């Protein structure tokens, strides 16, 4: 089993049915050293496409041509897009805290550099991986579609810069350069270090509270389903473009229940300590500011991420689930792994470790 954990899914799911819809293409995938980019790269290779990747370290994807570099480097980007007809842009700075300028450099200017270079190189398809947080202003989202990205209303530097990056990509859409933005929502599964392993490790350490009742309904997305949705978008962008789609499993669950299930699948105890959402937001705002000071908590503790931020407190205490009809219509895709099956595979993954 690899560190990415996709062998768990491949053993059970087999080759995606979506492969048969893809013609042979020359595809650049950015951010292929991460779980989503690597999974998409492998899936596209299995479908008979040529795949090139761009990221700062080797992707580890057998059969792909790696270009080492950053989306912030115009020379590396120019080399990566030369001769390809399709770009899947996964690379991003993803964190719940950090300096705005660092997010801006990657998520905004990096996207602008990639879009401009792709258009000059004659790329005809561009699938941009965004986030539902680009349209989240802090209140509940109940059964809605993909609202417009709004950097002014988005919460925190990650969401603000992802919103600006999505607008750059979609503004470039045309008949000759077809752009489709996907917003995977709360992706989790074997090998995911951004959300899944943090839940498990913090639950093991007793540092994972439940905010309020934990009853707010949230949508999430199992990792293998995310890969299949992106592969479907590479085909769908030929027919539908110029819009954003939220992608989820379509199975809203109470956030407290789902976090407990992920923690237990990882061999940890379900969290039992409860904190009021109002208190969590206030404390999160204070921690977030203290974390970024020159001699702040981040440097003193050596942790890469603060335990709580205002954005994280809002995400864990408000409902956010989405109407998936437009997404499934455009992509011609439905999730192949249910939440319950995903939890079973997650438990299998952690048991094997």
309 or 75, which is more confident: 75
Q: Give the CA distances from residue 273 to residues 254, 269, 276, 287, 317, in Å, rounded to whole numbers and listed in that order.
A: 16, 11, 10, 19, 14
Q: Convert the pLDDT of each residue in 250-281 to its tens digit.
A: 999 998 899 999 999 999 988 877 766 565 55
What pLDDT shows up at residue 171?
Answer: 98
Mean pLDDT along residues 210-233: 90
- Whole-angstrom distance, CA of residue 309 vs CA of residue 287: 6
Quickly state the pLDDT bin for 3 (edges 50, 70, 90): very low
What pLDDT shows up at residue 173?
Answer: 98
- Whole-angstrom distance, CA of residue 211 vs CA of residue 178: 41
Q: Is 230 left (phi over 0), alpha (psi -120 to 50) or beta?
A: alpha
Cβ neighbours around 171 below 10 Å, total = 11
Mean pLDDT along residues 158-164: 92
Superfamily of domain 6-199+219-256+321-345 in CATH is: NAD(P)-binding Rossmann-like Domain (3.40.50.720)
3-state secondary structure of 287: helix
Which residues have a catalytic role annotated?
158
pLDDT at 41 over 60: yes
Residues of the chain above pLDDT 90, percent: 60
Mean pLDDT along residues 9-29: 64
- The residue extents of the domains of the chain are 6-199+219-256+321-345
Closest listed residue to residue 352, CA positions, set 112, 2, 46? 2
Point out the least confidently predicted range of 12-21, 81-90, 179-188, 238-247.
Answer: 12-21
Beta strand 253-254 pairing with 217-218: antiparallel
- Whole-angstrom distance, CA of residue 169 vs CA of residue 157: 18
Mean pLDDT along residues 128-144: 83
What pLDDT shows up at residue 65?
Answer: 96
Q: Convert the pLDDT of each residue in 289-341 to its tens digit.
A: 665 665 454 444 445 666 555 566 566 667 788 999 999 999 999 999 999 99
Quickly state the pLDDT bin for 149 (edges 50, 70, 90): confident
Point out the least confidently predicted range of 14-18, 106-110, 126-130.
Answer: 14-18
């Amino acid at each position: 089993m690899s560190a990415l954990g996709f062998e768990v899914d491949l053993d059970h799911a087999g080759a995606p049915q979506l492969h048969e819809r893809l013609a042979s293409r020359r595809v650049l995938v950015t951010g292929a050293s991460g779980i989503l980019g690597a999974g998409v790269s492998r899936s596209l290779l299995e479908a008979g496409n040529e795949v090139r990747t761009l990221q700062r370290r080797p992707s580890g994807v057998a059969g792909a041509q790696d270009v080492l570099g950053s989306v912030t480097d115009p020379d590396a980007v120019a080399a990566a897009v030369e001769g390809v007809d399709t770009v899947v842009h996964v690379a991003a700075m993803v964190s719940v805290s950090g300096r705005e300028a660092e997010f801006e450099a990657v998520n905004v200017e990096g996207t602008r550099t990639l879009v401009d270079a792709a258009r000059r190189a004659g790329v005809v398809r561009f699938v941009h991986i965004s986030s539902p947080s680009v349209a989240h202003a802090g209140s509940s989202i109940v059964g809605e579609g993909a609202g417009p990205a709004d950097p002014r209303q988005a919460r925190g530097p990650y969401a603000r810069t992802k919103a600006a990056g999505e607008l750059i990509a979609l503004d470039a859409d045309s008949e000759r350069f077809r752009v489709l933005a996907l917003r995977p929502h709360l992706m989790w599964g074997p090998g995911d270090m951004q959300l899944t392993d943090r839940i498990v490790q913090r639950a093991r350490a007793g540092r994972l509270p439940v905010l309020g009742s934990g009853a707010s309904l949230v949508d999430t997305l199992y990792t293998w389903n995310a890969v299949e949705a992106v592969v479907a978008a590479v085909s769908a962008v030929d027919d539908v473009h110029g819009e954003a789609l939220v992608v989820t499993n379509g199975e809203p669950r109470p956030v407290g229940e789902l976090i407990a299930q992920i923690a237990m699948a990882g061999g940890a105890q379900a969290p039992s300590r409860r904190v009021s959402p109002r208190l969590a937001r206030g404390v999160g705002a204070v921690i977030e500011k203290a974390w970024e000071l020159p001699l702040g908590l981040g440097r003193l503790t050596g942790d890469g991420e603060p335990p709580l931020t205002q954005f994280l407190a809002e995400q864990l205490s408000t409902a956010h689930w989405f109407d998936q009809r437009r997404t499934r219509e455009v992509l011609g895709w439905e999730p192949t792994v249910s939440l319950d099956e995903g939890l079973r595979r997650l438990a299998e993954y952690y048991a094997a470790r």
